[in-house]
Amino acid sequence: MPLASRHEVTVEWGDCDPAGIVYYPSYFRWCDQATYRLFLAAGLKRDDVSSGQWKEGTPLVAAECAFKRASQHGETLVVESHVERFGRSSFTIRHVFRNAAGEIAAEGSETRIWAKKEGDARSLKPVAIPEDFKRRLGG
């Protein structure tokens, strides 16, 4: 069974567009934050930056979000996240945003790869996801 993470997000004034509804990039920022919280719940550091130079981690390769209901300033959304799929070197995290009534406001996903780099960003290469990483996230 996959590990799940759940937390609340309060929609702030700066999260909204001139129409008074959540501006779409806010959802992508919240998805990224939810991924970080999911990794923390699994006892994982998201990326190894302890050396001062990123060498191995989980870069984002695709993101999408479907907006189901408009959310606005002052609302509290509950974000539920879990790994939906593991591949050899990639995995997909699903995020569901619900309003106070439990209705789905948005559904997002992030596809990330396990990658290593030797040098600059062009040396980035996908590698097999470590089994411990999968196990901790319920894979």
The class (CATH top level) of 4-136 is: alpha beta
Q: Tokens for 45, please give them.
A: 């550091």
What pLDDT is attached to residue 103?
98
Domain ranges of the chain: 4-136
**Per-residue pLDDT band at 94 (split at 50, 70, 90):** very high
Amino acid symbol at 67: F
Average pLDDT over residues 18-26: 95
Rg from Cα positions in the chain: 16
**What φ, ψ does residue 126 adopt, rounded to 5°?**
-70, 140
Mean pLDDT, rounded, for 106-113: 97
